[in-house]
Amino acid sequence: MLTEKKFNLIIVLGIFAFSLIGYVINEPYFITLATKIVILGIAGCALNLILGFGGMVSFGHAMFFGIGSYVAAISAFHSMNGETIDLIFFDFNGSSQMLFNWFLAVIFSMFFALVVGSISIRTSGVYFIMITLAFAQMTYYFSVGWTKYGGEDGLSTYVRNDLFSINTMLPLNFFIICFACLCVVWFILNWVINSNFGNFLKGCKENEEKMRSLGLNPYTLKLTAFVISGAITGLAGALYVDLNRFVSPTSLSWQTSGELIVLVILGGSARLFGPLLGAIVFILLEQFLGEVTENWQFWLGVILVLIVLYFPKGVSGLIIKD
Amino acid sequence: MAEKKEILKLSGINKCFGNVVVAKDISLTVISNQLHALIGPNGAGKTTLIKMISGELKPDQGVVTLLDRRVNHLSEIARVHRGCIRSFQVSSIIGSMTVFENILLAVKHKRSILKMLFRKFQSNSSESSFVYQTLNQLSLETLGTKVASTLSHGDKRKLELAMALAMRPKILLLDEPFAGLDQAESSKLIELLKSIKKIMPIFLIEHDMQAVFALADKISVLNEGEIIESGSVEKIRRSKLVQNAYLGGDL
């Protein structure tokens, strides 16, 4: 059994080592897998902030992932084809700069999280699940009908955005960029969870009435967590676009929301980095079970049932000592 | 002798849930350094009244005055910030945190979201000593590192009281703090509340008559949403009206 710190370190270094091995043996696919793990891990950890620590089971987090993806992709698309977007006060030419597109993705995701959260957080339990799902499905169907940006077929950006003078098309370079984002996200989430705010949020999960009697507004606490979570998920979405150089309505679909929840359950919701381990297990199962059988998702389902029944703290619960 | 100041005043409080009247023209006053107990049979409307004082429920009519200010329009949270602190009928603590952390939550309650986000959840030296002082007051000093959910029922009740005290209340609203305590624990809590009422006014709802008679400076009796008698312990003991309505016999 490991302490949580050692667990986090081993997981992060393991992912880094996996991509380095891919580089050394000249197998870029390994690096792409590691990058995908990092990006999904970021989204999973962001969801875990509200699910594991705030008790809010969002079944619509794909919305923020997809919004981040679409915002970054649309900006890159316009930069590529030179077509401007007519905004009320100015014309926007798009951008091929990663940092700028991340910024846009985070701002848009935050805004949508604020709007969706301010309505959804008035509900709880199954109603919260359904209302977040409903919002996500609204954005999904909007994207399907948005033919200007590919509609159902999705939108390709062909090349990766730029970051300073780094050649982002090299898989290892792009992995390192995503890995750096993961480290920043880890720092932010770790800070939030260990702050006064994080502890009041945990209190809200257990006993909202008590929090009110302490003079705290659970609504504000939960909404703040929801917005932080949405913003980070949006960043993951923007990174995912750069990884695939493509975005489609699938990124906004309920299946994607379900996958994010699966990462949290697989990895364990009680630990900040549990979903990162969840992403590793999920991607590896997808790859290796996928090679053995076409019905790998059936076996994933079996594994999920076993984890929920016998290891409610997820795979990380087996490794980390309390 | 210190001047007696009105801390809490209820005037003409009325409340109905549909056709059911749960509070009928209730008026009472809690003054400084006084323990005012409210007794009454189950379903008399005691907890509803405490909810109207704390702001969880709004009265249909009447005025709630806290420290000379009308607070009807204020939310539960705003009233907490004015010093109106309550405890619950069922132990209400954060089970996954330690005893120390539970009290620290109460100590740090007056923070804005930004201050909460940018400050680590740890105590500075003055906060630490205040938490330990509160733990000592409640005889919980040896349990500081224990996870709250593992405490005995009596210790959970004490922890809840400790959290309320750590918020430095101007008035303490206690909803059946003696519920489920054994004789020894009740006696300890009586002694504790005797010392606390010297510092702050307490509005106590309780079924344990032994505790009420040992502690109360004033008792009001609620029956079917109406205060049928109010006065000193002796007055309530002797009141035929109370005996008939409340117990159907001698108190």
Q: Domains in chain B and their CATH numbers?
A: 1-83+169-251 (3.40.50.300), 94-168 (no CATH)
d(CA A131, CA A116): 9
pLDDT at B245 over 80: no
| Beta strands per DSSP E along chain A | 85-86, 91-92, 155-156, 246-247
Which has the closest alpha carbon to B204: B181, B193, B231, B250?
B193
Per-residue pLDDT reduced to its tens digit, B175-197: 998 888 888 888 888 998 998 98
Q: Give the relative orientation of helices A28-51 and A218-244 as an angle to the nearest 10 degrees.
A: 170
8 Å CB contact between B141 and B135: yes
Contacts of A224 in chain B (CB under 8 A): 113, 117
Strand partners, B21: B16
| pLDDT score, position A85 | 82
Specify the pairing of strand A155-156 against strand A246-247: antiparallel
| Confidence category of residue B60, pLDDT binned at 50, 70, 90 | very high
CA distances from B122 to A82, A186, B111 (A): 53, 20, 14
B-contacting residues in A 194-213 (Cβ below 8 Å): 194-200, 202-203, 206-207, 209-210, 212-213
| pLDDT score, position A5 | 85
- Give A264 to chain B, closest Cα distance, Å: 20
Per-residue pLDDT reduced to its tens digit, A120-147: 999 999 999 999 999 999 999 999 999 9
pLDDT top residue among B99 and A286: B99
- Write the CB contacts of B122 (distance below 8 Å, at least 6 apart in sequence): none
| Confidence category of residue B3, pLDDT binned at 50, 70, 90 | low
- Backbone dihedral angles phi then psi of residue B20, each to the nearest 5 degrees: -90, 125
Contacts of A199 in chain B (CB under 8 A): 97, 101, 105, 121
The list of chain A residues with pLDDT below 50 reads none
Tokens for B90, please give them. Answer: 């069922």
- Backbone dihedral angles phi then psi of residue B46, each to the nearest 5 degrees: -70, -50
Contacts of A195 in chain B (CB under 8 A): 116-121
AA identity, residue A17? A
d(CA A90, CA A157): 23
Per-residue pLDDT reduced to its tens digit, B84-96: 999 888 888 999 9
Percent with pLDDT over 90 in chain B: 48
| pLDDT score, position A33 | 94
Handedness of CA B158, B164, B170, B174 (dihedral sign): negative
| pLDDT score, position B111 | 67
Tokens for A141, please give them. Answer: 């169907």
Within chain A, what is the greatest distance between any pair of CA atoms?
Answer: 60
**B162 interface with A at CB cutoff 8 Å:** no
Concatenated DSSP letters for chain B? Answer: -PPP-EEEEEEEEEEEETTEEEEEEEEEEEETT-EEEEE--TTSSHHHHHHHHHTSS--SEEEEEETTEE-TTS-HHHHHHTTEEE--SS----TTSBHHHHHHHHHT-S--HHHHHHSBS---HHHHHHHHHHHHHTT-GGGTTSBGGGS-HHHHHHHHHHHHHHT--SEEEEE-TTTT--HHHHHHHHHHHHHHTTTS-EEEE-S-HHHHHHH-SEEEEEETTEEEEEE-HHHHHH-HHHIIIIISS--
pLDDT at B73 over 80: yes
| Confidence category of residue B148, pLDDT binned at 50, 70, 90 | very high
Which has the closest alpha carbon to A57: A182, A229, A291, A184?
A229
Query: What CATH code is carried by the domain that includes residue A62?
Result: 1.10.3470
| HSE, side-chain direction, 13 A CA sphere, residue A26 | 0
8 Å CB contact between A15 and A37: yes
Per-residue pLDDT reduced to its tens digit, B29-39: 999 889 999 99
* Sheet with B35-39, edge to edge strand ranges: B84-86, B171-175, B202-205, B35-39, B218-223, B226-231
Contacts of A217 in chain B (CB under 8 A): 77
Residue in A closest to B81 by C-alpha: A215
d(CA A9, CA A59): 29
d(CA B140, CA B167): 17
Q: How many CB atoms lie within 10 A of CB B6?
A: 14
Query: What is chain A's alpha carbon radius of gyration, rounded to the nearest angstrom?
Result: 19
| pLDDT score, position A77 | 92
Contact B116 A207 (CB under 8 A): no
| Confidence category of residue B207, pLDDT binned at 50, 70, 90 | confident
Cα dihedral B98/B104/B109/B111 (nearest 10)? -120
| pLDDT score, position B2 | 55
pLDDT at B247 over 70: no
8 Å CB contact between A187 and A48: no
pLDDT at B138 over 60: yes
Nearest by CB to residue B109, choosing from A202, A209, A216, is: A216
Contact B77 A217 (CB under 8 A): yes
- pTM (2 d.p.): 0.90
In a 10 Å sphere around its CB, with 0-12 CB exposed, 13-18 middle and 19+ buried, how is residue A83 labelled? exposed
| pLDDT score, position B149 | 93
| HSE, side-chain direction, 13 A CA sphere, residue B117 | 11
| pLDDT score, position A80 | 84
AA identity, residue A196? N
AA identity, residue B205? I
pLDDT (average), residues B70-91: 90
Using DSSP, state whether A135 is helix, strand or coil: helix
d(CA A15, CA A280): 8
In a 10 Å sphere around its CB, with 0-12 CB exposed, 13-18 middle and 19+ buried, how is residue B170 labelled? middle
Domain span at residue A85? 4-319
| pLDDT score, position B246 | 65
| pLDDT score, position B188 | 87
8 Å CB contact between B138 and B159: yes
**A294 interface with B at CB cutoff 8 Å:** no
Structural domain count, chain A: 1
Contact A203 B105 (CB under 8 A): yes
AA identity, residue A94? G
